[in-house]
Chains A and B, each alone.
Chain A
Protein backbone atom coordinates (compact mmCIF):
# COMPACT_ATOMS: atom_id res chain seq x y z
CA UNK A 1 0.00 0.00 0.00
CA UNK A 2 1.48 3.32 -1.04
CA UNK A 3 1.42 5.80 1.79
CA UNK A 4 1.38 8.86 -0.44
CA UNK A 5 -1.74 7.76 -2.29
CA UNK A 6 -3.47 7.00 0.98
CA UNK A 7 -2.65 10.43 2.43
CA UNK A 8 -3.67 12.08 -0.83
CA UNK A 9 -6.98 10.22 -0.59
CA UNK A 10 -7.49 11.37 2.98
CA UNK A 11 -6.90 14.96 1.93
CA UNK A 12 -9.10 14.83 -1.16
CA UNK A 13 -11.83 13.15 0.87
CA UNK A 14 -12.23 16.13 3.23
CA UNK A 15 -14.93 17.99 1.27
CA UNK A 16 -16.79 14.69 0.92
CA UNK A 17 -16.55 14.14 4.67
CA UNK A 18 -18.04 17.60 5.33
CA UNK A 19 -20.81 17.15 2.80
CA UNK A 20 -21.57 13.65 4.05
CA UNK A 21 -21.82 14.93 7.58
CA UNK A 22 -24.53 17.38 6.60
CA UNK A 23 -26.55 14.92 4.53
CA UNK A 24 -26.27 12.06 7.00
CA UNK A 25 -27.18 14.40 9.85
CA UNK A 26 -30.51 14.96 8.11
CA UNK A 27 -30.73 11.22 7.54
CA UNK A 28 -30.11 10.53 11.25
CA UNK A 29 -32.95 12.87 12.24
CA UNK A 30 -35.30 11.10 9.86
CA UNK A 31 -34.16 7.64 11.00
CA UNK A 32 -34.83 8.55 14.63
CA UNK A 33 -38.17 9.89 13.45
CA UNK A 34 -39.32 6.44 12.30
CA UNK A 35 -38.10 4.90 15.55
CA UNK A 36 -34.65 3.57 14.73
CA UNK A 37 -32.12 3.72 17.56
CA UNK A 38 -28.87 5.65 17.24
CA UNK A 39 -26.97 2.38 16.83
CA UNK A 40 -29.35 1.01 14.20
CA UNK A 41 -29.14 4.25 12.21
CA UNK A 42 -25.35 4.33 12.38
CA UNK A 43 -25.11 0.66 11.41
CA UNK A 44 -27.29 1.27 8.37
CA UNK A 45 -25.00 4.12 7.32
CA UNK A 46 -21.80 2.16 7.89
CA UNK A 47 -23.02 -0.87 5.92
CA UNK A 48 -24.72 0.93 3.04
CA UNK A 49 -23.10 4.34 2.45
CA UNK A 50 -25.80 5.36 -0.02
CA UNK A 51 -27.77 8.50 0.66
CA UNK A 52 -30.78 8.16 -1.63
CA UNK A 53 -30.98 4.41 -0.98
CA UNK A 54 -31.04 4.88 2.79
CA UNK A 55 -33.66 7.63 2.71
CA UNK A 56 -35.85 5.41 0.56
CA UNK A 57 -35.26 2.46 2.88
CA UNK A 58 -36.62 4.46 5.81
CA UNK A 59 -40.03 4.79 4.23
CA UNK A 60 -39.99 1.12 3.24
CA UNK A 61 -39.08 0.06 6.79
CA UNK A 62 -41.53 2.49 8.39
CA UNK A 63 -44.29 0.95 6.26
CA UNK A 64 -43.22 -2.49 7.49
CA UNK A 65 -42.86 -3.66 3.88
CA UNK A 66 -41.31 -6.97 2.83
CA UNK A 67 -37.58 -7.64 2.44
CA UNK A 68 -38.14 -8.25 -1.28
CA UNK A 69 -39.65 -4.82 -1.63
CA UNK A 70 -36.72 -3.25 0.17
CA UNK A 71 -34.26 -5.13 -2.05
CA UNK A 72 -36.14 -3.98 -5.15
CA UNK A 73 -36.09 -0.31 -4.12
CA UNK A 74 -32.35 -0.53 -3.52
CA UNK A 75 -31.75 -2.02 -6.97
CA UNK A 76 -33.73 0.73 -8.68
CA UNK A 77 -32.18 3.58 -6.71
CA UNK A 78 -28.63 2.28 -6.61
CA UNK A 79 -28.31 0.88 -10.11
CA UNK A 80 -26.25 3.92 -11.05
CA UNK A 81 -23.42 2.44 -8.98
CA UNK A 82 -23.38 -0.38 -11.51
CA UNK A 83 -22.47 2.06 -14.28
CA UNK A 84 -19.93 3.77 -12.05
CA UNK A 85 -18.27 0.46 -11.22
CA UNK A 86 -18.13 -0.39 -14.95
CA UNK A 87 -16.34 2.90 -15.60
CA UNK A 88 -14.09 2.37 -12.58
CA UNK A 89 -13.14 -1.15 -13.73
CA UNK A 90 -11.32 0.43 -16.67
CA UNK A 91 -9.24 2.63 -14.39
CA UNK A 92 -7.68 -0.19 -12.36
CA UNK A 93 -4.36 -1.79 -13.16
CA UNK A 94 -4.73 -5.43 -14.33
CA UNK A 95 -1.74 -6.19 -12.10
CA UNK A 96 -3.51 -5.01 -8.96
CA UNK A 97 -4.21 -7.87 -6.51
CA UNK A 98 -7.78 -9.09 -7.06
CA UNK A 99 -8.83 -8.72 -3.41
CA UNK A 100 -8.59 -4.93 -3.67
CA UNK A 101 -11.64 -4.95 -5.93
CA UNK A 102 -13.74 -6.01 -2.93
CA UNK A 103 -12.40 -3.11 -0.90
CA UNK A 104 -12.84 -0.53 -3.65
CA UNK A 105 -16.40 -1.74 -4.29
CA UNK A 106 -17.43 -0.78 -0.75
CA UNK A 107 -16.62 2.85 -1.52
CA UNK A 108 -18.44 3.26 -4.83
CA UNK A 109 -20.62 6.22 -3.89
CA UNK A 110 -21.45 9.21 -6.07
CA UNK A 111 -18.82 11.34 -4.38
CA UNK A 112 -15.99 8.83 -3.93
CA UNK A 113 -16.51 7.69 -7.52
CA UNK A 114 -16.29 11.30 -8.68
CA UNK A 115 -12.91 11.72 -7.00
CA UNK A 116 -11.65 8.30 -8.10
CA UNK A 117 -12.18 9.02 -11.79
CA UNK A 118 -10.32 12.32 -11.55
CA UNK A 119 -7.25 10.47 -10.26
CA UNK A 120 -4.87 9.62 -13.14
CA UNK A 121 -5.19 5.96 -14.18
CA UNK A 122 -4.32 3.41 -12.95
CA UNK A 123 -6.18 4.13 -9.75
CA UNK A 124 -4.11 3.00 -6.74
CA UNK A 125 -6.30 1.12 -4.23
CA UNK A 126 -4.57 3.08 -1.43
CA UNK A 127 -6.11 6.26 -2.84
CA UNK A 128 -9.59 4.71 -2.67
CA UNK A 129 -8.96 3.58 0.89
CA UNK A 130 -7.82 7.08 1.84
CA UNK A 131 -11.03 8.53 0.45
CA UNK A 132 -13.12 5.90 2.25
CA UNK A 133 -11.21 6.37 5.54
CA UNK A 134 -11.91 10.10 5.46
CA UNK A 135 -15.43 10.23 4.04
CA UNK A 136 -17.24 7.25 5.58
CA UNK A 137 -16.60 8.27 9.22
CA UNK A 138 -18.23 11.60 8.35
CA UNK A 139 -21.23 9.70 7.01
CA UNK A 140 -21.55 7.47 10.09
CA UNK A 141 -20.84 10.20 12.66
CA UNK A 142 -23.34 12.56 11.06
CA UNK A 143 -25.96 9.83 11.16
CA UNK A 144 -25.34 9.02 14.82
CA UNK A 145 -25.33 12.66 15.86
CA UNK A 146 -28.45 13.43 13.84
CA UNK A 147 -30.27 10.46 15.34
CA UNK A 148 -29.14 11.30 18.89
CA UNK A 149 -29.45 15.07 18.98
CA UNK A 150 -30.69 16.26 15.61
CA UNK A 151 -33.58 18.27 16.94
CA UNK A 152 -31.30 20.33 19.17
CA UNK A 153 -29.25 21.75 16.28
CA UNK A 154 -30.11 24.85 14.28
CA UNK A 155 -30.58 23.85 10.62
CA UNK A 156 -28.44 26.77 9.47
CA UNK A 157 -25.17 24.87 9.55
CA UNK A 158 -26.44 21.69 7.93
CA UNK A 159 -28.16 23.78 5.26
CA UNK A 160 -24.84 25.42 4.45
CA UNK A 161 -22.95 22.13 4.36
CA UNK A 162 -25.66 20.62 2.17
CA UNK A 163 -24.24 22.51 -0.79
CA UNK A 164 -20.64 21.29 -0.21
CA UNK A 165 -20.95 18.08 -2.21
CA UNK A 166 -22.49 19.84 -5.19
CA UNK A 167 -19.74 22.45 -5.02
CA UNK A 168 -17.26 19.62 -5.24
CA UNK A 169 -19.06 18.09 -8.23
CA UNK A 170 -18.93 21.44 -10.00
CA UNK A 171 -15.22 21.76 -9.27
CA UNK A 172 -14.75 18.30 -10.83
CA UNK A 173 -16.86 19.02 -13.91
CA UNK A 174 -15.71 22.50 -14.90
CA UNK A 175 -11.97 22.02 -15.69
CA UNK A 176 -12.43 19.14 -18.21
CA UNK A 177 -15.49 20.89 -19.67
CA UNK A 178 -13.37 23.99 -20.29
CA UNK A 179 -10.80 21.93 -22.18
CA UNK A 180 -12.96 19.50 -24.10
CA UNK A 181 -15.98 20.69 -26.03
CA UNK A 182 -17.61 17.24 -26.15
CA UNK A 183 -17.43 17.00 -22.35
CA UNK A 184 -18.92 20.48 -22.02
CA UNK A 185 -21.84 19.47 -24.24
CA UNK A 186 -22.34 16.24 -22.27
CA UNK A 187 -22.44 18.23 -19.00
CA UNK A 188 -24.86 20.87 -20.27
CA UNK A 189 -27.22 18.42 -22.00
CA UNK A 190 -27.27 16.16 -18.92
CA UNK A 191 -28.12 19.09 -16.65
CA UNK A 192 -30.83 20.29 -19.02
CA UNK A 193 -32.40 16.82 -19.28
CA UNK A 194 -32.19 16.41 -15.53
CA UNK A 195 -34.01 19.71 -15.04
CA UNK A 196 -36.71 18.74 -17.54
CA UNK A 197 -37.21 15.34 -15.92
CA UNK A 198 -37.37 16.88 -12.46
CA UNK A 199 -39.82 19.65 -13.29
CA UNK A 200 -41.96 18.32 -16.16
CA UNK A 201 -45.19 17.10 -14.54
CA UNK A 202 -45.40 13.93 -16.65
CA UNK A 203 -41.83 12.89 -15.81
CA UNK A 204 -41.38 14.01 -12.24
CA UNK A 205 -42.71 10.69 -10.93
CA UNK A 206 -39.46 9.01 -12.02
CA UNK A 207 -37.22 8.39 -9.02
CA UNK A 208 -33.98 10.36 -8.85
CA UNK A 209 -31.86 7.22 -9.11
CA UNK A 210 -33.63 6.06 -12.24
CA UNK A 211 -33.51 9.53 -13.74
CA UNK A 212 -29.74 9.61 -13.39
CA UNK A 213 -29.38 6.19 -15.04
CA UNK A 214 -31.59 7.15 -17.98
CA UNK A 215 -29.71 10.39 -18.56
CA UNK A 216 -26.32 8.73 -18.22
CA UNK A 217 -27.18 5.98 -20.72
CA UNK A 218 -28.74 8.38 -23.18
CA UNK A 219 -26.18 11.19 -23.10
CA UNK A 220 -23.03 9.05 -22.79
CA UNK A 221 -24.34 6.75 -25.52
CA UNK A 222 -25.07 9.63 -27.86
CA UNK A 223 -21.71 11.26 -27.12
CA UNK A 224 -19.86 7.97 -27.71
CA UNK A 225 -21.64 7.51 -31.06
CA UNK A 226 -21.18 11.10 -32.24
CA UNK A 227 -17.78 11.87 -30.76
CA UNK A 228 -15.82 8.68 -30.00
CA UNK A 229 -12.68 9.40 -28.04
CA UNK A 230 -9.30 9.30 -29.78
CA UNK A 231 -6.65 6.84 -28.61
CA UNK A 232 -4.55 9.63 -27.03
CA UNK A 233 -7.50 11.04 -25.11
CA UNK A 234 -8.12 7.49 -24.00
CA UNK A 235 -4.71 7.16 -22.38
CA UNK A 236 -5.26 10.01 -19.94
CA UNK A 237 -9.06 9.67 -19.74
CA UNK A 238 -10.84 11.70 -17.05
Chain B
Protein backbone atom coordinates (compact mmCIF):
# COMPACT_ATOMS: atom_id res chain seq x y z
CA UNK B 1 0.00 0.00 0.00
CA UNK B 2 1.27 3.44 -0.90
CA UNK B 3 2.04 5.52 2.21
CA UNK B 4 0.13 8.63 1.09
CA UNK B 5 -2.99 6.53 0.43
CA UNK B 6 -2.61 4.83 3.80
CA UNK B 7 -2.42 8.23 5.45
CA UNK B 8 -5.57 9.41 3.66
CA UNK B 9 -7.38 6.29 4.86
CA UNK B 10 -6.14 6.66 8.43
CA UNK B 11 -7.11 10.34 8.63
CA UNK B 12 -10.66 9.69 7.49
CA UNK B 13 -10.97 6.59 9.67
CA UNK B 14 -9.83 8.50 12.76
CA UNK B 15 -12.21 11.40 12.15
CA UNK B 16 -15.15 9.11 11.49
CA UNK B 17 -14.45 6.88 14.47
CA UNK B 18 -14.17 9.86 16.82
CA UNK B 19 -17.53 11.19 15.65
CA UNK B 20 -19.05 7.83 16.54
CA UNK B 21 -17.13 7.32 19.76
CA UNK B 22 -17.38 10.68 21.54
CA UNK B 23 -21.12 10.65 22.35
CA UNK B 24 -20.97 7.00 23.40
CA UNK B 25 -18.13 7.58 25.84
CA UNK B 26 -19.09 11.07 27.06
CA UNK B 27 -22.79 10.40 27.69
CA UNK B 28 -22.65 7.62 30.22
CA UNK B 29 -25.75 8.38 32.22
CA UNK B 30 -29.43 8.59 31.58
CA UNK B 31 -30.29 12.05 30.29
CA UNK B 32 -32.93 13.49 32.63
CA UNK B 33 -34.28 16.36 30.53
CA UNK B 34 -37.66 15.35 29.16
CA UNK B 35 -37.12 17.48 26.07
CA UNK B 36 -33.77 15.86 25.27
CA UNK B 37 -35.12 12.37 25.91
CA UNK B 38 -38.04 13.09 23.60
CA UNK B 39 -35.68 14.56 21.02
CA UNK B 40 -33.48 11.47 21.06
CA UNK B 41 -36.57 9.25 20.91
CA UNK B 42 -37.57 10.85 17.60
CA UNK B 43 -34.04 11.01 16.11
CA UNK B 44 -33.99 7.51 14.56
CA UNK B 45 -37.34 8.00 12.83
CA UNK B 46 -36.46 11.41 11.40
CA UNK B 47 -33.00 10.24 10.29
CA UNK B 48 -34.15 7.00 8.68
CA UNK B 49 -37.07 8.68 6.94
CA UNK B 50 -34.86 11.44 5.54
CA UNK B 51 -32.32 8.87 4.36
CA UNK B 52 -34.92 6.67 2.69
CA UNK B 53 -36.84 9.19 0.67
CA UNK B 54 -36.21 10.34 -2.02
CA UNK B 55 -32.87 8.44 -2.12
CA UNK B 56 -34.66 5.13 -2.72
CA UNK B 57 -35.85 6.42 -6.10
CA UNK B 58 -32.27 6.61 -7.41
CA UNK B 59 -31.02 3.40 -5.76
CA UNK B 60 -31.56 1.18 -8.81
CA UNK B 61 -31.11 1.31 -12.56
CA UNK B 62 -34.32 3.22 -13.27
CA UNK B 63 -36.86 5.33 -11.40
CA UNK B 64 -39.64 2.96 -12.46
CA UNK B 65 -38.04 -0.14 -10.97
CA UNK B 66 -37.11 1.82 -7.84
CA UNK B 67 -40.65 3.12 -7.42
CA UNK B 68 -42.05 -0.40 -7.78
CA UNK B 69 -39.53 -1.72 -5.25
CA UNK B 70 -40.51 1.13 -2.91
CA UNK B 71 -44.21 0.27 -3.30
CA UNK B 72 -43.55 -3.42 -2.65
CA UNK B 73 -41.57 -2.58 0.48
CA UNK B 74 -44.37 -0.32 1.77
CA UNK B 75 -47.07 -2.94 1.20
CA UNK B 76 -45.06 -5.72 2.85
CA UNK B 77 -44.02 -3.53 5.77
CA UNK B 78 -47.62 -2.48 6.37
CA UNK B 79 -48.66 -6.14 6.47
CA UNK B 80 -46.05 -6.67 9.18
CA UNK B 81 -43.41 -8.72 7.32
CA UNK B 82 -39.87 -9.09 8.73
CA UNK B 83 -36.97 -6.83 7.74
CA UNK B 84 -35.36 -9.59 5.70
CA UNK B 85 -38.57 -10.43 3.82
CA UNK B 86 -39.19 -6.80 2.97
CA UNK B 87 -35.58 -6.20 1.87
CA UNK B 88 -35.37 -9.32 -0.30
CA UNK B 89 -38.82 -8.96 -1.88
CA UNK B 90 -38.15 -5.33 -2.77
CA UNK B 91 -34.91 -6.46 -4.47
CA UNK B 92 -36.69 -9.23 -6.35
CA UNK B 93 -39.35 -6.79 -7.57
CA UNK B 94 -36.60 -4.49 -8.86
CA UNK B 95 -34.78 -7.38 -10.52
CA UNK B 96 -37.91 -8.70 -12.27
CA UNK B 97 -38.88 -5.19 -13.31
CA UNK B 98 -35.47 -4.47 -14.84
CA UNK B 99 -35.47 -7.84 -16.62
CA UNK B 100 -38.93 -7.31 -18.08
CA UNK B 101 -38.83 -3.60 -18.90
CA UNK B 102 -36.44 -3.76 -21.88
CA UNK B 103 -38.61 -6.34 -23.67
CA UNK B 104 -41.89 -4.51 -23.07
CA UNK B 105 -43.30 -2.75 -26.16
CA UNK B 106 -43.40 0.69 -24.45
Of the candidates A84, A90, A175, A221, the one whose C-beta lies within 8 Å of that of B37 is A90
Partner of A163, one of B11, B35, B94: B94
Residues of B within 8 A of A47 (CB): 9-10, 13
Question: Given the complex of chains A and B, what is the CA–CA distance between A198 and B94 in angstroms?
Answer: 23
- The answer to whether B83 touches A172 (Cβ under 8 A) is yes
Tell me how many residues of A have a C-beta within 8 Å of chain B. 104
Q: How far is the CB of A191 from chain B (nearest CB, A)?
A: 4
Q: Which of B37, B42, B85, B94 contacts A223 (CB 8 A)?
A: B42
- Asked if residues A53 and B16 are in contact (CB atoms below 8 Å), the reply is yes
Answer yes or no: B27 CB below 8 A from chain A CBs.
yes
* Given A18-B87, A229-B41, A82 and B22 contact (CB-CB distance below 8 Å): yes
Which B residues are in CB contact (< 8 Å) with A219? 42, 46, 50
Minimum distance in angstroms from B77 CB to a CB of chain A: 4
From A165, A174, A191, A237, give the contact of B50 (CB < 8 A).
A191
CA distance A6 to B37 in the complex (A): 28
Cβ contacts under 8 Å, B65 to chain A: 159
Check if B98 sits within 8 Å of A159, measured CB to CB. yes
In the assembled complex, the CB of A121 is this many whole angstroms from the nearest CB of chain B, namely 11
Are A86 and B35 closer than 8 Å at their CB atoms? no
Residue B23 is within 8 A (CB to CB) of chain A in the complex: yes
A103-111, A135-143, A144-152 - the one binding chain B: A103-111
The yes or no answer to A160 lying at the interface (CB within 8 A) is yes
Whether B78 lies near A94 (C-beta < 8 A) is: no
| Residues from chain A with Cβ under 8 Å of B41 in the complex | 224, 229, 233-234, 237-238
Q: For residues 1 through 24 of chain B, which have their beta carbon under 8 Å from a beta carbon of chain A? A: 1-2, 5-13, 15-17, 19-24
Q: Which of B7, B45, B88 meets A15, CB within 8 Å?
A: B88
A220-B35 Cα distance, complex, nearest whole Å:
10
User: Within the complex, what minimum Cβ distance (angstroms) separates A173 from chain B?
Assistant: 6
Q: Are A88 and B54 in contact (CB under 8 A)?
A: no
Can you name the residue of chain A whose Cβ is closest to the Cβ of B45?
A: A186
Q: How far is the CB of A9 from chain B (nearest CB, A)?
A: 13
Residues of A within 8 A of B84 (CB): 14-15
Residues of B within 8 A of A67 (CB): 7-8, 11
| A1 touches B (CB below 8 Å) | no
The answer to whether A234 touches B37 (Cβ under 8 A) is yes
* Residues of chain A having any CB pair with chain B under 8 Å: 12, 14-15, 18-19, 36-37, 39-40, 43-44, 47-48, 50, 53-54, 57, 60-61, 67, 70-71, 74-75, 78-90, 92, 94, 98, 101-102, 104-106, 108, 110, 113-115, 117, 155-157, 159-178, 182-183, 186-188, 190-191, 193-195, 198-199, 208, 211-212, 215-216, 219-221, 223-225, 227-229, 233-234, 237-238
12 pairs from A and B in contact (CB 8 Å cutoff): A14-B84, A57-B12, A71-B11, A90-B37, A106-B17, A113-B44, A115-B83, A166-B52, A174-B74, A190-B47, A224-B41, A238-B41
A-B interface, 9 closest residue pairs, ranked by CB to CB distance from nearest: A167-B90, A224-B38, A85-B23, A15-B87, A174-B77, A160-B95, A190-B49, A171-B86, A220-B42
